[in-house]
Structure 1
Amino acid sequence: MVNSAYRPGRAWSIAFLLTGLALVNFLDKIVLGMVAVPLMAELKMSAADFGVLAGSFFWLFSLSGVALSFLADRYPARWILLVLAFSWSVLQIPLVFAHGVMTFLVCRVVLGIAEGPTIAISMHALFKWFPNEKRSLPMAIFNQGAAVGLVLAGLLIPLVSKHWGWRTNFELLAIVGALWCLLWLCFGREGNLGAAPSATAGVGDQTAPDAAMSRLPYRRILTMPSVLILLLIGFAAYWSGALILTWLPAYLQMGLGFDAVTSGRLFSGVLLLTAPYTIALGWISDRMLARGASSRKARVNVINAAFLLGGVLLIGLTMIDMAPLAKVAVLGVATCLPTICFTFVPAILAELVPMVQRSSVMGIYLAVATSAGAISPVVVGRLVEHHHGIGAHGYQLGFAIGGGLLIVAALLSACYLHPERAHRRLTLASRGVA
């Protein structure tokens, strides 16, 4: 049964505004990777140096993601998101004029601080408008903000760089971010679904409002096997995701030999695979949950299958000789499959934890997941430099490491990730029963 406080019209308007925020968020992330080749040439940077610069975005990303997401457990997410988004726009401006690596490094580190908590707080804000059994589809739509942002980046950034110079991209990002802030100021609102516990909520009743659970010690939440597996799943998926953001354009140009514009189009083609895939699975998952399927069947099993297949394909890139376009196709499918976890894992976490701690737990999850983004670009930069920046092998070794992580995460998830069981235990614990 859908909670009577659920208002579909307003809920979906907020969902689309937050999707727009995710679009801006990922444009800010990807722009550095999309201008990697001219930036390295102008600033005389090696592949290893660029790997450090790219990874610097994530140096304090996770720390700020945890610290600031605690604020959204106590203060309205609406205003926190507005301040964060406005700061992104401001931070693009120095990059338009910067001619030294240090300016880029400082701005990317600070941008990482400002963007660190955004996704966690956005998901927390979104879940205030949708009940558990209706969260997969809006989460899938929300994640498409990232996909659309990446597709637009692949299509537009190379063209902007070609006609007006690569620095112009930072000017445009500042303007786009400011426009979103204006829309959010006018139409953004705070949801209240689950703000009060239900008098009839029973133990293990997952259709009951989230606030039916009381605050728990974070040690109790974070040591649950199911929660630990969700953290590992996020880390494994983000390893490959960070490589796509950072190294895919360079891999297409310097590894596979495509020109910049063609690489941008192929980059967009790879990312376009995610939209129909995640939206369809999100819709199917919500239908299954509405008909009484368990979260393990409707969400966990899908993640496991996607991770296993994606991991095998990524490892296969290093073992099977293929034409460049075939490699792009395999890489596209392999990196598309794990993205379903970005739809299902937050929904599972929201299902498990008390609403009063949801934003902070989301922040902790994303901190662990995105820490892969500080590691994987540097690892691949070293691998590429070890192979003298020639050919695709260095890049593909980095992808293969990600494939191994996906397989390990899927196998552990199949054994230990049981959302319903974890929900019952945490609900009992919150009521002092266990």
Structure 2
Amino acid sequence: MTDTDVVPAVPARPTRNTSGARRRAWTVTALLVVFMMVNFADKSVLGLAAESIRADLGMSASAFGLANSAFFLLFSVCGAAVGLLADRVRPKWLLLAMALLWSVAQAPLALGGGMALLVASRVLLGAAEGPAFPVAQQTAMSWFPDRARNLPGALVVLGTTLGVLLAAPGLTWVIDHHGWHSAFAAVAVAGLVWALLWVPLGGEGPYASGSTDDVRSGQGDAFEVDGTEGAARRTPYRRIIATRTWIGATAAYFGAYWITAFGLVWLPSYLHEGLGLSTAGSARVLMLVYGLNAVVVLGQAGLTGWLLRRGAPSRRARGGVGGALLLISAAACLALPGVPAGAGSVVLLVVGFGAAGAMTSIAVTTVTRLTPADRRGGALGIMNAVVTTAGLIAPTLIGRLVDAYGADGYRYAVLLTGALLLLGGTAAVTLIDPDRDARRLAG
């Protein structure tokens, strides 16, 4: 069998539980969590070193925003293309190639360079990171049936939060003591270390759409096959992306990704310049934001899993929970600009920027539930491509607002973010119903 062979999405018969297969499933999940940690450390390094880089290279806020947006120039296109490829090529090798390219992209900045090299490096890094999240989620989902996917999906999302939580103090220390070039060297080494671990330990599980190698080798008997996995094979992608569930999940995820892009690129500067916090105070607030995000992501996984086990429809367990979190985040962001700088503004900022992240996990598990196994890579990749255009737009737009209006530019950016979250939350509550749309696709 070659890597590009199309094979059955699930084993022909239900398989027995074994402790070895369960350990393998959670080992792969843990590696994917670390994969996303490295991914978001790569993304966050530019924001953490913003003041040093702008001073060293003489960049305006608009130019710095443009450099960050360059990261997303090929991000969406590659996310969709590799997502489609992941339905044909083993995700194990795609993930390995991505991690190696991350390190290659960061290496030149570790040695020096100016604005042109910075932009070129970010374009290459964005192309290599664009497919990371959907392919990582596809690989994690391949080890679990639908009823057990909430926790591993949430843990992979949690990796994005942990990456920033660890990167914020660690890379800030490196930048302060050894300069911003050394921070890029640190994340390049982290990518190489992960790749060395992934080669012997990574792989796809028994619910993979592209491989039954693990099933045939005895690694696929960890879980019982649920009846929805093999349904509606070869469903056209156009039918999947036309469903109300895919549209609602994508709209909601777009709002969550917008606030992620805002947080990675401009939140440290907003805390310092917009709210007047010291460097130490800004770091503490960032820890609170990402700490709340971690709690919400795990709490959502527990609540959603509990609702599903009690027989609640996915419309309520996923669309209802995710939509409610986005609406809470929207309310906090819309209220924030009207509150004077102080404890109240910090609370609203932490809630506004920390409550929306769980929608990322919900969007993935929702589309995975909706989509036939042999179409998941493409469906997730296309969704990710649409959603991550927020990362292309947000940094440049916010930079222009800051250049035009000074500190008030951050207030306008937060109001815009609140409006997008409000639209996304409404879409999640009103459109998401994967059980209904899965039946329609199977019909």
**TM-score w.r.t. length of structure 2:** 0.90
Q: For residues 239 and 101 of structure 2, what CA distance do their matches in structure 1 show?
A: 35
Report the identity percentage. 35
Alignment check: 8 A CA contact 2:253 2:424 kept: no
Alignment check: 8 A CA contact 1:271 1:336 kept: yes
SS at match of 1:167: helix
2:74 to 60, 74, 87: 60
Corresponding residue number in structure 2 for 1:176: 190
SS at match of 1:45: coil
Q: For residues 111 and 218 of structure 1, what CA distance do their matches in structure 2 show?
A: 27
Which amino acid letter does the alignment assign opposite residue 420 of structure 2?
L
Q: Give the drift of 1:142.
A: 1.1
Aligned length: 415
Corresponding residue number in structure 2 for 1:92: 106
Residues 1:37 and 2:51 are matched in the alignment:
yes
Equivalence map 1:285-434=2 (5 Å): 285-323=304-342, 325-387=343-405, 389=406, 391=407, 393-428=408-443
Alignment check: 8 A CA contact 2:165 2:287 kept: yes
Equivalence map 1:8-407=2 (5 Å): 8-193=22-207, 207-323=226-342, 325-387=343-405, 389=406, 391=407, 393-407=408-422
Alignment check: 8 A CA contact 2:339 2:345 kept: no
SS at match of 1:311: helix
SS at match of 2:113: coil
Q: Deviations over 1:19-47 (max 9, x none)?
A: 00000000001100110011001100000
Q: For residues 40 and 434 of structure 2, what CA distance do their matches in structure 1 show?
A: 29
Where structure 2 has 5 or more consecutive residues not aligned to the other structure, the ranges are 1-13, 213-224
Q: For residues 231 and 158 of structure 1, what CA distance do their matches in structure 2 show?
A: 33
Q: Give the drift of 1:260.
A: 2.9
**TM-score w.r.t. length of structure 1:** 0.92
Alignment check: 8 A CA contact 2:237 2:378 kept: no
Where structure 1 has 5 or more consecutive residues not aligned to the other structure, the ranges are 198-205, 429-434
Q: Give the drift of 1:194.
A: 6.0
Corresponding residue number in structure 1 for 2:8: none
Alignment check: 8 A CA contact 2:231 2:372 kept: yes
In structure 2, relative to structure 1, the CA distance for the partners of 1:264 and 1:148 (3 Å cut) is same
SS at match of 1:212: coil
Alignment check: 8 A CA contact 1:38 1:166 kept: yes
Q: Give the drift of 1:59.
A: 1.1
Alignment check: 8 A CA contact 1:152 1:268 kept: no
Q: For residues 65 and 216 of structure 1, what CA distance do their matches in structure 2 show?
A: 20
Q: Deviations over 1:196-254 (max 9, x none)?
A: 99xxxxxxxx9425222211122211111221111111111111110001001111222
SS at match of 1:70: helix
Q: For residues 39 and 261 of structure 1, what CA distance do their matches in structure 2 show?
A: 19
Could you say what the CA RMSD is over the residues aligned between the two structures, in angstroms? 1.8
Which amino acid letter does the alignment assign opposite residue 276 of structure 2?
G
Moved more, 365-374 or 401-410: 401-410
Q: For residues 299 and 5 of structure 1, what CA distance do their matches in structure 2 show?
A: 29
Which amino acid letter does the alignment assign opposite residue 424 of structure 1?
R
SS at match of 2:402: helix
